[in-house]
Structure 1
Amino acid sequence: MQHYQHYHIFPCGSLVPIICLMAVSYADQFGAVVLMTIALTFIGGMYSGFLANHIDIAPNFAGTLVALTNVFATIPGVVIPIVVGKLTHSANTYEEKIFTWRMVFFTISIFYVIEIIFYCIWGPADEQPWNKSNKKYESNQEIPFDKSNDN
């Protein structure tokens, strides 16, 4: 198995959380807790793929890449609660609330699938050319020492 294939297999572990999220909308309280626990346990596979990928594609800029990607990853964390609040607040009856939450969980599941497909197709694993510096440095350079500043 080639190096890049590992990073494309790990996100497939997110299929379990996707199934659990869809099943939560049909479960009772105890079942929902069990399904969410299973979902959060398996979601670690997703992080083993794309977070480790930053180091492989650009070791010199891995911190910067993590920071930039986290900026975009934080946007749904701000927007989604607002949207979910608007959707669930407008539901009046029990059936409407259940339908609304099913719509929320299925929408999140669809986004998970889109992310997995996008990453598996376009997520690189090889070191990128922009990671390498154009400057050549000699490892045995002498640093001049100025003795005139000694008191």
Structure 2
Amino acid sequence: AIGYMGCNQFRAVLCCILAVGFLGLQTCGAIISHLDIASNYAGTLVGITNTLATIPGFVGPYVVGAITKNNQTIEAWRLIFNISAGIGAFGSLAYCILFNGEEQRWNRIEHENDTNGPTNT
């Protein structure tokens, strides 16, 4: 939406504030999901997913630079915002389709020393 607001700074800033606010809600849901599916490995899962989530942080500026090099037009920035929105929508859709919140079987830790009867110490 930002690419289509023209030069109205108030609406553009308001849109950015709302986007970041909703991103916070999404992040809370995604992070807590690690505890839902594998509480024993939640820290490891957060590390892996956050590592993957940093990729747009260093790829994005290169894409923006490639698109806007000698092309500082509103159309170029619209393309950038549309690419960002498409990636976000794809990720959200994939999460909604693939995630079920059920504990994963590989999360269960079975101990070999467990016995069913009384033990003598």
Q: Provide the TM-score with structure 1 as the length reference.
A: 0.70
In structure 2, do the counterparts of structure 1 residues 82 and 56 end up closer, same or farther at CA, with 3 Å as the change threshold?
same
Of 25, 29, 32 in structure 2, the residue corresponding to residue 49 of structure 1 is: 29
Separation of aligned partners in 1, 2:120 and 2:28: 40
Name the aligned partner's letter for residue 43 of structure 2.
G
Aligned residue number for residue 76 of structure 1: 56
Q: Which has the higher contact order (CA 8 A, sep 6+)?
A: 2
Aligned residue number for residue 124 of structure 1: 100
Aligned residue number for residue 114 of structure 1: 90
- Structure 1 gap ranges (5+): 1-22, 143-151
Name the aligned partner's letter for residue 115 of structure 1.
G
How many angstroms does 1:136 deviate by?
A: 3.6
In structure 2, do the counterparts of structure 1 residues 141 and 77 end up closer, same or farther at CA, with 3 Å as the change threshold?
farther
- Structure 2 gap ranges (5+): none
Of 29, 32, 35 in structure 1, the residue corresponding to residue 12 of structure 2 is: 32
Separation of aligned partners in 2, 1:41 and 1:131: 32
Aligned residue number for residue 78 of structure 2: 102
Q: Provide the TM-score with structure 2 as the length reference.
A: 0.85
Separation of aligned partners in 1, 2:120 and 2:15: 60
Percent identical pairs in the alignment equals 38
Separation of aligned partners in 2, 1:76 and 1:106: 15
Separation of aligned partners in 1, 2:120 and 2:87: 52
The runs of at least 4 consecutive aligned structure 1 residues that moved more than 6 Å come to none
SS class of match (2:4): coil
Q: Note the alpha carbon deviations across 1:1-59, whole angstroms, 9 max, x for none.
A: xxxxxxxxxxxxxxxxxxxxxx2112222221111111111222211221100011111
Paired positions, count: 116
Name the aligned partner's letter for residue 34 of structure 2.
H
